[in-house]
Chain A
Amino acid sequence: MVLLGGPTGISLVSQVKAFGLYNFLKPVANAYARAAGYRKVGLKYDDLLVEERDDVAKAISRLSAQESYDRVYRFRVAFQQDLMRRPLPKEQWVKAEDDVRYLTPLVEGVSKEIQERDSWDTVEVERKAI
């Protein structure tokens, strides 16, 4: 799957913030996240990032041991619930405040590194005036 706008997809969050629409759209975003259903099987939003990409794979390798373990555990739970065709009991759903972007900063760091390498690979050097 090819995603436009990098590993995390297209984001309009900076424009939304610039136009002062953040507080207006936040309830809509919350409702969307609830409706998407991933929290009902114990997943966080960053678990859904497409991991068959070099930059995301690299970012996953940079997770701490604990985060990495928790991520795999969430997947096991989600697969099990999917197999049984039922969501988790409601008290075990991932709460909105726990649904943090634990992977996105790392993915952004990796893509920044890739961009930097690309820019150095195509740099044009000007001779200093002596």
Chain B
Amino acid sequence: MSLLRLPRAVPALRRSYATAANVAEAAGVKVVGIENGSRPSTTSVTVAIRAGSRYETTPGVANVLKNFAFKSTAAGSPLRTVRETELYGGVLSTAVSREHIFLTAEFLRGDEAHFLPLLASVLSSTQFLAHEYSELVLPTVQGEALAAAADPVAAAIDTAHQVAFRRGLGNSIYAEPTSPVTLDAVKQYAKAAFAKSNIAVIGQGISTEALAAAVESTFGGEGAGASSLATPASQYFGGEARIAFDSHANPTAQPTLVIAYGAAGAATPELSVLPHLLGGESSLKWAPGTSPLAQAAAKIPGASVRSFLTGYTDASLFGVVVSAPTAEAVRSLATEVAAAIKGAAAGVKDDELKRAVAKAKFAEATKLETADSLVAAVTPAVFGNATLDVASFDALSAAAVTKAASTLFSAKPTVVAVGNTHVLPYADELGL
């Protein structure tokens, strides 16, 4: 019995490294190093900048700024950056979310003396050359926007944010062909974004002390003081959007419907359990799961239903993604999803809740085990925002979850249909 209990205790212990207590400050920048033993020979350093799409001054500028990373700096050309990284044996990558821009360097242990100045130079001395913008940056920006538009799920979730939150969090993380971004807008956004108070350095496979020492000696050229970027406090609106989608452009694309509900405030344990309660994806391969949504999806071959909860610092969005081979199948499946949502709002059974809590705890704990999800999970805590505590899931009661669900689902739903809009259902036809 004690052996069975042991693995459950471990994630709760691991959770401790994301607390404010072990965030150091070096050169005015927040620093945290995580030595979790899963990276014996490599180190990954991520610079998180609080300048994601919700802070945008011009639509798409965050995506452009992300793609301007690792271009010409005072230290050297992009070619030099790439070739030196290859010689050291490293990987440079960038990502943008609705709240943060991430610049990541992964390298062999001991090479931080090369890679930290590289990351620092991106922040302090990127040149923003006009020809690099048109030759290197814009094609990538356009490609990302096109790829997202050709993926019905990505397009639907992006639009769902826009419908749910309108401004701020509603901003797309991709650039839009209808609103061009000028180079001057990028420069000004970068100047505002790269303020010291806006930057955190998160290391994996390196101790906080070692990382802080390296940051102290390399970071320093960034703008001092507070960031001038602002975002409106998130408010949930809800509504409907219908996107006609030409499936010839992407033969694997399926008609998709997203039903989402938003709530103000960061994700609570009650809300975090909800996607696991409704389920969707089976935890057992080749078998339909036991959750209500998975069983609904199993009736239609090739259909999939997935529920998700995306947490932000001041809002969270719960959603269900319904995809099926035909628009008619999406229509029938969406009606069942709506019924399952109503069922959850009406009352949650104890045994279902137990299963969902176990899955939610596992999902939260695995977030801290993989390199990519760890950065996204730890970043809000480094910036001093509240994060979920795995232990708090144990205290959940069926009544509390039912109450949270009925409050959430009583708001106006966000429904985004992508595909053949002549067949796909309207929001008021689903019985939500």
Q: What is A's interface to B at a CB cutoff of 8 Å?
A: 62, 64, 113, 116-117, 120, 123, 125
Contacts and interface: CB of A to CB of B under 8 A. Distances in A.
Contacts of B399: none
A113 B78 CA distance: 10
Given A120-B83, A125-B87, A62 B77 contact: no
Contacts of A64: 130
11 contacts: A62-B130, A62-B131, A113-B79, A116-B77, A116-B80, A117-B79, A120-B79, A120-B80, A120-B83, A123-B83, A125-B87
Contacts of B80: 116, 120
A58 B319 CA distance: 48
Contacts of A62: 130-131
Contacts of B77: 113, 116
Give chain B's interface secondary structure class: helix
A120 B86 CA distance: 11
Contacts of B130: 62, 64
A125 B89 CA distance: 13
Nearest to A62: B131
Interface in B63-84: 77, 79-80, 83
Nearest to A59: B131
Contacts of A125: 87
A125 B224 CA distance: 38
Contacts of A116: 77, 79-80
Nearest to A64: B130
Interface in B117-159: 130-131
Interface in B235-265: none
Contacts of B83: 120, 123
A125 B87 CA distance: 8
Question: Of A64, A120, A123, which is in contact with the most chain B CB atoms at under 10 Å from its CB?
Answer: A120
Nearest to B132: A62
Interface string B73-116: 00001011001000100000000000000000000000000000
B65 to A, nearest CB: 21
Given A64-B130, A120-B83, 11 more contacts: A62-B130, A62-B131, A113-B77, A113-B79, A116-B77, A116-B79, A116-B80, A117-B79, A120-B79, A120-B80, A123-B83
Nearest to A121: B83
Nearest to B78: A113
A123 to B, nearest CB: 7
